Amino acid sequence: MRYIDPLRSQRSQYTNEMLKIVRNYRSHVLEVMRNKLRTPDNKLDYEDIGKALDRLNEVMVRRATDPLKRFTRVGYLRGIDQTIQHLQTEGLAQVNVFFSKPDEVAIEKLAETAGQYLPDMAKDTKDKIIRIVQAGDKEGLGISRIGKNVYEGINALTIPRAEALATTSLNQAYNYSAFERVRQMAPYKIWIATHDDRTRDSHNKMDGVVIETEERFHVPAFKPSKGGREVPACDLMFPGDVSNDPPLGQIINCRCIVSGKMRKS
């Protein structure tokens, strides 16, 4: 099966929206920090700083929830359309009317599950900012230098996590939708990896693997290209499936897709 990334355009749009929200958040954080760091007695009120960050975090989470919900639906509907096309190329002559009907409850649940990561991202960002300010205060750094460190801290932590959330949640919605239709209409399913140098080794090894629809794909362990601990093997119903509590290293930023096969060969 010739692979054409079915989510490239949507992933780019979703990521750009999330990054715009994070950059706006970053600007407000820096403005707040400049005001909070200007104290007449040089004593920082960390409780007050924490409350200010909590208010900004609430706004960021609320704003990020809208694109998350919209693109969860986009990914889900894209999964329907692409799966129909794939199965038709496999020789499926007729598609049941319910096959193309979206499951609104499932879409809402997918968005709710993905949305649980937003407060965690916000809290981790707040904690990191406070640690940066505390370290800068201890070292006697000026307002500009602490602000620069906060800016870099948000860039290092929050921006990559926002990008990962967009990529992962969009793909999970697509694959959940695709798999639910594959299991209705096809006896086999196929793992299709993204063909570029960003795909992890374990997923490259899965590319083209065909198994019975109700079996789990056995995804091998792998070591990240930049070193670090080995990510354990896991068994997934489809790329991005979290029903079996897999290691996050096999899930985050995955762009692989599942499709159906009418014949195993």
Residue 134 has pLDDT above 70, yes or no: yes
AA letter at 26? R
Q: Which residue has the tokens 């056995």?
A: 218
In a domain, 209, yes or no: yes
Q: How confident is the model at residue 42 (pLDDT cuts 50, 70, 90)?
A: low
- Tell me the three state secondary structure of residue 214: coil
Whole-prediction pTM: 0.93
pLDDT of residue 132: 96
Dist CA 234 CA 168 (whole Å): 17
Dist CA 174 CA 24 (whole Å): 28
Q: What's the average model confidence in pLDDT over 119-140?
A: 95
Dist CA 257 CA 15 (whole Å): 19
In a domain, 3, yes or no: no
Q: What's the average model confidence in pLDDT over 26-36?
A: 92
Ranking 88-102, 190-204, 235-249 by mean pLDDT, the lowest is 88-102
Is there a contact between 55 and 176 (Cβ–Cβ < 8 Å)?
no
231 lies in which domain range?
Answer: 8-261
Dist CA 163 CA 11 (whole Å): 9
Residue 39 has pLDDT above 90, yes or no: no
pLDDT in tens, 161-213: 999 999 999 999 999 999 999 998 899 999 999 988 889 999 999 999 999 99
In a domain, 2, yes or no: no
Is there a contact between 260 and 87 (Cβ–Cβ < 8 Å)?
yes
The larger pLDDT score, comparing residue 40 to residue 137, is at 137
pLDDT of residue 209: 97
pLDDT in tens, 246-259: 999 999 999 999 99
Number of structural domains in the chain: 1
Q: How confident is the model at residue 98 (pLDDT cuts 50, 70, 90)?
A: low
What's the mean per-residue pLDDT of the chain?
Answer: 93
Q: What's the average model confidence in pLDDT over 120-124?
A: 97
In a domain, 1, yes or no: no
Q: What's the average model confidence in pLDDT over 49-72?
A: 97
In a domain, 129, yes or no: yes
Residue 127 has which token pair? 């904690």
Q: What's the average model confidence in pLDDT over 18-35?
A: 95
Long-range contacts of 5-11 (CB under 8 A, 24+ apart): 5/194, 5/255, 6/78, 6/82, 6/174, 6/257, 7/75, 7/78, 7/170, 7/171, 7/174, 7/255, 7/257, 10/71, 10/74, 10/75, 10/78, 10/170, 11/166, 11/167, 11/170, 11/171, 11/255
Is there a contact between 185 and 99 (Cβ–Cβ < 8 Å)?
yes
Residue 158 has pLDDT above 90, yes or no: yes
In a domain, 81, yes or no: yes
In a domain, 200, yes or no: yes
Residue 1 has pLDDT above 60, yes or no: no
Residue 208: burial class (beta carbons within 10 Å; 0-12, 13-18, 19+):
exposed
Share of the chain above pLDDT 90, in %: 79
Alpha helical stretches, state H, 90-199: 104-115, 117-139, 143-185
